[in-house]
Amino acid sequence: MTQYLEFEKPLAEIEGKAEELRAMARENEEMDIEKEAAALDRKAADLLKQLYSGLTPWRKCLVARHPERPHCKDYIEALFDEFTPLAGDRNFADDHAVMGGLARLNGRPVMVIGHEKGNDTKSRIARNFGMARPEGYRKAIRLMRMADRFGLPVITLVDTPGAYPGKGAEERGQSEAIARSTEACLDLKVPIISVVIGEGGSGGAVAFATADRVAMLEHSIYSVISPEGCASILWKDAGKTQEAAAALRLTAQNLKELGVCDRIIPEPAGGAHRDAAAAIKSVGAAISELLASFDGMKPAKIMAGRRKKYLDLGKKGLAA
């Protein structure tokens, strides 16, 4: 059953009526309601297109957080062959909020790493809702260095509200682990491609997304802080969340203009959660194309390009 967002209530009513008609027809075969149901389907499709053609930044946040959006595990299972998960940071523990390992993308060996939120209550708790602890970032560092040693491209899938802010995580060096992971991204001699598939929250996302190419799904977000956190700090008012979302310039479209995002990957009508297979296929095609642009490129040139990319950030300004 589809989970509707708050702004999708009118759409839920129309689609609900169409389903009611079809349910009645299933119970009584003599009823001919297909014409009425098809009319409602067309009306729903038009409304869906209208709703998603002009999403506000806050509504983009809601779509990016939709519980039915495909997550890291879904992308890995659909796009990669021979995935061999690698666990642990060889120091403290294995963080289930971060998954990664060796795999093949269209026959090409790669290292894939990503945040995993889980898709039901049990798995979300086990995955800590995609909020990594220090050992998660240290695991990612270990896998990046392994990929570098064997000349494997690195692909990261970003989907996290942010790094876990708990007492234990801070005691074990959360900020240091994030900084080291960001440093590891910058030091790679192999290409690193990052895709923001949902939320890209704060340093927890930067630690995976300091990449040669950063792609974002059309309705994903990437920001230094959540709109709720921004509103509570700047205005001390939770009611200012929508204003905060607009001020943060966190949408893929904003970040493409600012040079933070290199490519926007289109989503199916109504968002990735309405057609996960199509969204995953689009992401796979984008990753393959971005990786191909580095074929034959020397490590020195890859590193020089990455250095220039991040030194140039901010040159486009923040004109209102």
Identify the band that residue 318 occupies on the pLDDT scale cut at 50, 70 and 90.
low
Q: Of the candidates 127, 122, 110, which has an alpha carbon nearest to the alpha carbon of residue 71?
A: 127
pLDDT at 212: 96
Q: How do residues 151-197 score in pLDDT, each as one tens digit? A: 999 999 999 999 999 999 999 999 999 999 999 999 999 999 999 99
Q: Is 262 helix (H, G, I), strand (E, B) or coil?
A: coil
Q: How do residues 101-110 score in pLDDT, each as one tens digit? A: 999 999 999 9
Q: Of the candidates 215, 207, 312, 192, which has an alpha carbon nearest to the alpha carbon of residue 262?
A: 215
**Structure tokens that stand for 116 in this block:** 């995993």
pLDDT at 19: 84
Asked whether residue 133 carries a pLDDT value surpassing 70, the answer given is: yes
- Give the residues across from 209 on adjacent strands: none
pLDDT at 2: 76
Q: Which residue has the tokens 């169409």?
A: 18
Cα–Cα distance, 152 to 147 (Å, whole number): 5
Identify the band that residue 320 occupies on the pLDDT scale cut at 50, 70 and 90.
very low
Query: Is the distance from CB of 190 to CB of 302 less than 8 angstroms?
Result: yes
Q: How do residues 191-249 score in pLDDT, each as one tens digit? A: 999 999 999 998 999 999 999 999 999 999 999 999 999 999 999 998 899 999 999 99
Asked whether residue 22 carries a pLDDT value surpassing 80, the answer given is: no
- Give the residues across from 223 on adjacent strands: 201
- Give the residues across from 190 on adjacent strands: none
The sign of the dihedral angle between the CA atoms of 70, 6, 217, 112 is negative
Q: Is 33 helix (H, G, I), strand (E, B) or coil?
A: coil
pTM over 0.85: yes
pLDDT at 18: 86
Cα–Cα distance, 270 to 63 (Å, whole number): 9
Query: Is the distance from CB of 60 to CB of 66 less than 8 angstroms?
Result: no
Identify the DSSP state of 151. T
**Structure tokens that stand for 53 in this block:** 């053609």
Least confident of 29-33, 41-45, 159-163, 310-314: 29-33
